[in-house]
Amino acid sequence: MNVSVSVAESLRGALAGLLDGVPPRQAAGAVERLIANYRGATPTDAPILRDRADVAAYAAYRMPATFEAVRAALEAFAEAVPGWVPGSHVDVGGGTGAATWAVSAVWDGERPVTVLDWAEPALALGREIAGANPALSGARWQRARIGAGLSLDRADLVTVSYVLNELTPADRGALVDAVAAAGQAVVIVEAGTPDGYARVIEARDRLIGAGFHVAAPCPHSAACPIVPGADWCHFSARVSRSSLHRQVKGGSLAYEDEKFSYVAASRAPVLPAASRVVRRPQIRKGQVLLDLCEADERLTKATVTKRHGDLYKAARDADWGDPWPPAER
């Protein structure tokens, strides 16, 4: 079994016991409260995750999806920095630690890990479930408030997943400046919505201004070719649902697709993809239609037909979010 799959399974196992003894109605109620809070007026002045019931509901309801989105972003980053392995990791606004699990799924071995969050119950539960992941045995779970004056210890990798959404514009700027000052590599993930994409682009501009190179998803560190308001760059990660997940979220599908936007950047030079597939490929009889973001700052459409031989076979296997063409990697 590859490391990524086994980490995903350990996470699922660690989450499975969380709602033991909590009646399904109560679990569903906590999830509904959480959704209402997240739909409400974030940013808030105080943590949304206030107690163990909130946090258990968050972990059961959202953590499998945030884990898969961050893992996909980290895998795209890893492809653009072959051979690089983070020697240390700081996860800001890390909550129950989904990104720390994702890092351990992409890069084998142990490293110093610090999770920062202002919600103590989230840190406590994160620490508890991390007991199921040997790579996180030495992780530090620390309270910290994101805002002006935030200063972070230096780390090879800094992750910020699904956090910018909860901050004021001023705090978002302060956070991105702080992670740029602390990290050799920075990976930021947000929901795959027009607003999530806008927050990612703002962070991307700030990272480039601080001297970073974009490793993924963009094939370049120049301006994004998407016309603001016309479209948004986002990707999709498949999340398999446990029976617990189905119980908490309702529905009977065995999986769901988590849409996310991200930027992964490094201070060191990177080898970004020549171009990237930015929509789900459309397979027609004898041809595959690919929407690509290109290194020369353009969005293009490519039609790959049987006449292209091996490239056609590769196009049939290509997925939304993959580098293109694969042979150049």
Ligand X SMILES: C[S@@+](CC[C@H](N)C(=O)[O-])C[C@H]1O[C@@H](n2cnc3c(N)ncnc32)[C@H](O)[C@@H]1O
Shortest Å distance, C-beta 294 to ligand X = 30
Cβ 99 vs Cβ 161: under 8 Å:
yes
Shortest Å distance, C-beta 123 to ligand X = 8
- Give the residue with the Cβ less far from ligand X, 122 or 139: 122
Shortest Å distance, C-beta 179 to ligand X = 13
Residues 272-291 that bind ligand X (CB under 6 A): none
For ligand X, the binding residue among 11, 105, 106, 146 (CB under 6 A) is 146
- Give the residue with the Cβ less far from ligand X, 147 or 194: 147
Cβ 90 vs Cβ 152: under 8 Å:
yes
**What six digits make up the tokens of 82?**
């072959």
Shortest Å distance, C-beta 291 to ligand X = 27
Question: How far is residue 249's CA from residue 246's CA, in Å, rounded to a whole number?
Answer: 5
* Residue whose C-beta lies closest to ligand X: 95
131: phi then psi, degrees, rounded to nearest 5: -60, -20
Question: How far is residue 136's CA from residue 100's CA, in Å, rounded to a whole number?
Answer: 7
**What six digits make up the tokens of 268?**
């060191």
Shortest Å distance, C-beta 134 to ligand X = 21
277: phi then psi, degrees, rounded to nearest 5: -75, 115
Nearest to 162 by CA among 254, 47, 276, 70: 70
Shortest Å distance, C-beta 151 to ligand X = 14
Cβ 270 vs Cβ 317: under 8 Å:
no
Q: Which stretch binds ligand X (CB under 6 A): 12-20, 22-30, 144-152, 228-236?
A: 144-152
Question: How far is residue 153's CA from residue 114's CA, in Å, rounded to a whole number?
Answer: 9
Question: How far is residue 73's CA from residue 237's CA, in Å, rounded to a whole number?
Answer: 10
Helix (H) or strand (E) holding 189: strand 183-191
CA atoms within 13 A on the CB side of 199: 27
Write out the DSSP string of 203-225.
Answer: HHHHHHHTT-EEEES-SSSS---
Strands 275-277 and 255-266: unpaired
Shortest Å distance, C-beta 209 to ligand X = 23
- Give the residue with the Cβ less far from ligand X, 150 or 277: 150
- Give the residue with the Cβ less far from ligand X, 212 or 262: 262
67: phi then psi, degrees, rounded to nearest 5: -60, -50
The answer to whether residue 312 forms part of the interface with ligand X (CB under 6 A) is no
Binding mask 161-180 for ligand X (x = CB under 6 A): xxx--xx-------------
Binding mask 54-93 for ligand X (x = CB under 6 A): ---------x--x--------------------------x
- Give the residue with the Cβ less far from ligand X, 44 or 300: 44
Binding mask 106-135 for ligand X (x = CB under 6 A): -----------xxx--x-------------
- For ligand X, the binding residues (CB under 6 A) are 47, 49, 63, 66, 93-95, 98-99, 117-119, 122, 145-147, 161-163, 166-167
